[in-house]
Amino acid sequence: MSEQSTPQAGAIEAVADCPHCGKPLPLCICDSVTPIESKISLLILQHPQEQDRALGTARLTAMHFKDAVVKIGLSWPSLSKALGRTVHDPSRWAVLYLGSAKVSDLETDAEIVAINRKGEVEPHQRAILSDIEGIVLLDGTWSQAKALWWRNAWMLKCQRVILGPKRPSRYGKLRKEPRRDGLSTIEAAGLLLAALEKRPEIAEALNASFDRMLARYREVQADMPELAPKPKKRDYRRRKRG
Ligand SMILES: [Zn+2]
């Protein structure tokens, strides 16, 4: 044998991806996921440049629900087109909003707050939140999610909700916070559906899966660092830490 390849390159080529979650198989935890029957539908729009296969959670999130769709792209003409079925009343869908409104600035301690176009708390929280039949999540870095927001005008017809999570993201230092509320897609989905359906076990199931995913990531990073590269610095916001 005269040809030599680097052992790292060989190892990467030899490892297949899971067809369900899209992760390299050593990082896959699909076996442990049981789909939940939820009343509220979930649509996850993923920016095409979000390619964090190791730490991304969009497809893993969707696997937890019988009624969840992941679409990769930049724009769709309507909610119905994005979802792949007819939605009669987009105002009964809510987009997890990324604008400047922060729950900590609003006078509420709710974990989910419906806001209006001015970023103010909607007066009829309960009526709006109890009427929601579907959630749209934007998956990607903060700037990618903002691009999705601006390119999909139909989202203006949806409700806007923001989150005030009681605890920080489980990503910890593994990934800089991709969203203003600091949560991963899987944590945001768990918090939203658990609260809207009043089923805390939904958040528990999703958080437990996320913990398993992160534990697997750390194991693989120790054994096969080429499969779970250390996260690069992300550019979505420049925040001075004092
Ligand atoms: Zn998988």
> Hey, where are the domains in the chain?
38-220
* Distance (Å, whole) CA 193 – CA 38: 8
Cβ distance 188 to 60 under 8 Å?
no
Protein residues placing their CB within 5 Å of the ion ligand 1: 18, 20-21, 28, 30
**pLDDT tens digits along 122-163:** 999 999 999 999 999 999 888 899 999 999 999 999 999 999
How many angstroms does the Cα of residue 57 sit away from the middle of ligand 1?
A: 11
CA atoms within 13 A on the CB side of 199: 13
* Distance (Å, whole) CA 38 – CA 19: 24
**pLDDT tens digits along 58-98:** 999 999 999 999 999 999 999 999 999 999 999 999 999 97
How many angstroms does the Cα of residue 86 sit away from the middle of ligand 1?
A: 29
How many angstroms does the Cα of residue 33 sit away from the middle of ligand 1?
A: 9
How many angstroms does the Cα of residue 196 sit away from the middle of ligand 1?
A: 27
How many angstroms does the Cα of residue 102 sit away from the middle of ligand 1?
A: 34
How many angstroms does the Cα of residue 213 sit away from the middle of ligand 1?
A: 10
- Quick count: other Cβ atoms within 10 Å of Cβ 141? 21
Burial of 151 (0-12, 13-18, 19+ CB in 10 A): middle
How many angstroms does the Cα of residue 30 sit away from the middle of ligand 1?
A: 4
**pLDDT tens digits along 210-237:** 999 999 999 998 888 887 777 655 544 4
Does the pLDDT value for residue 28 go beyond 70? yes
How many angstroms does the Cα of residue 186 sit away from the middle of ligand 1?
A: 15
